[in-house]
């Protein structure tokens, strides 16, 4: 009887220890049998609604691959970007595989365990516009960006990329009129109306801009890329076990070629390196 009781107690303690080691996020994921990933609804080719009105794209496929590695279902949530980027999710979301740039300001509320792709920041203008040839030409002009994005920080001259503090960005323009949008698509609609009608330019990343430029001759790139922009997985701060698990899963996805295959599928080349 005593032996049985001690054995049962040992099993109970082991279970408690395992839960403690799992960390709050991983424990929640395993308990619910699902991974909750948060991303934008309208950010092609990374995340967008396809013809079947289902979320699709690079980030969606990466999130699916992570859920598969964890052996759980995937649930996607699409609040506004400012809600995503504000952090302090309080357990509503488990992870942001959502093309977030790891800025110093965001590092106050997020951990960034993995950088999973990189893309340069670029200026897009109306094809009829001959005023803008580089970032210095943005002075005094109205530039569209996604609200609470790293691009807004850049135009406000206060963007510091986490991990690249020794390589400060340069801001060759005077004050810019920043026009925040919920997503790039609406900004592109306004820019298509003509140079200076509602917008003078858009600041976004090359991977999202290039397909629009290729498909719509009303847009063109202006000048060279402004800076290299890493995009990282974001999780709530101070969950060491969940961070370690995310790092491990992405290491597997790199090693087995999954990340490269997803990148080639959506981008046409491997930007995961």
pLDDT in tens, the chain (273 residues): 433 343 444 444 444 444 344 589 999 999 999 999 999 999 999 999 999 999 999 999 999 999 999 999 999 999 999 999 999 999 999 999 999 999 999 999 999 999 999 999 999 999 999 999 999 999 999 999 999 999 999 999 999 999 888 889 999 999 999 999 999 999 999 999 999 999 999 999 999 999 999 999 999 999 999 998 999 999 999 999 999 999 999 999 999 999 999 999 999 999 997
Helix or strand run (H / E) with residue 184: helix 184-191
Query: Closest Cα to residue 23, out of 96, 91, 85?
Result: 91
CATH class of the structural domain 24-118+231-267: alpha beta
Q: How does strand 96-100 pair with strand 219-221?
A: unpaired
Query: DSSP readout, 101-135?
Result: --BTTGGGTEEEEEEEEEEEEEEEEETT--S-SSG
Domain coordinates of the chain in residue numbers? 24-118+231-267, 119-229
Whether 24-118+231-267 shares its CATH topology with 119-229 is answered: yes
CA distance 230 to 112: 11
The topology under which CATH files domain 119-229 is D-Maltodextrin-Binding Protein; domain 2 (3.40.190)
The CA–CA distances, whole Å, from 67 to 42, 51, 130, 227 equal 22, 24, 47, 32
CB 68 within 8 A of CB 259: no
CB 182 within 8 A of CB 146: yes
């Amino acid at each position: 009887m005593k032996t049985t009781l001690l054995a049962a107690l040992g099993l109970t303690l082991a279970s408690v220890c395992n839960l403690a080691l799992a960390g709050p996020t991983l424990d929640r994921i395993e308990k619910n049998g699902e991974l909750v990933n948060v991303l934008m609804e309208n950010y092609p080719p990374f995340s967008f609604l396809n013809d079947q009105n289902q979320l699709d794209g690079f980030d969606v496929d990466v999130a699916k691959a992570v859920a598969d590695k964890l052996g759980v279902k995937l649930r996607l949530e699409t609040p506004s970007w400012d809600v995503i980027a504000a952090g302090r999710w309080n357990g509503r979301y488990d992870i942001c595989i959502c093309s977030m740039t790891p800025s110093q300001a965001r590092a106050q509320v997020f951990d960034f365990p993995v950088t999973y792709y990189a893309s340069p920041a670029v200026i897009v203008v109306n094809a009829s516009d001959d005023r803008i040839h580089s970032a210095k030409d943005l002075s005094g002009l109205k530039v569209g960006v996604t609200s609470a994005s790293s691009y807004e920080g850049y135009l406000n001259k206060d963007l510091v990329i986490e991990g690249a503090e020794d390589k400060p960005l340069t801001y060759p323009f005077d004050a810019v009129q920043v026009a925040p949008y919920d997503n790039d698509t609406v900004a592109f609609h306004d820019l298509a109306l003509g140079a200076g009608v509602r917008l003078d330019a858009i600041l976004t990343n090359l991977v999202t801009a290039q397909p629009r430029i290729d498909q719509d001759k009303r847009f063109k790139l202006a000048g060279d890329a402004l800076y290299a922009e890493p995009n990282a997985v974001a999780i709530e701060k101070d969950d060491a076990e969940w961070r370690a698990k995310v790092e491990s899963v992405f290491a597997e996805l790199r090693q087995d070629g999954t990340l490269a295959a997803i990148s080639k599928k959506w981008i046409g080349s491997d930007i995961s390196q």
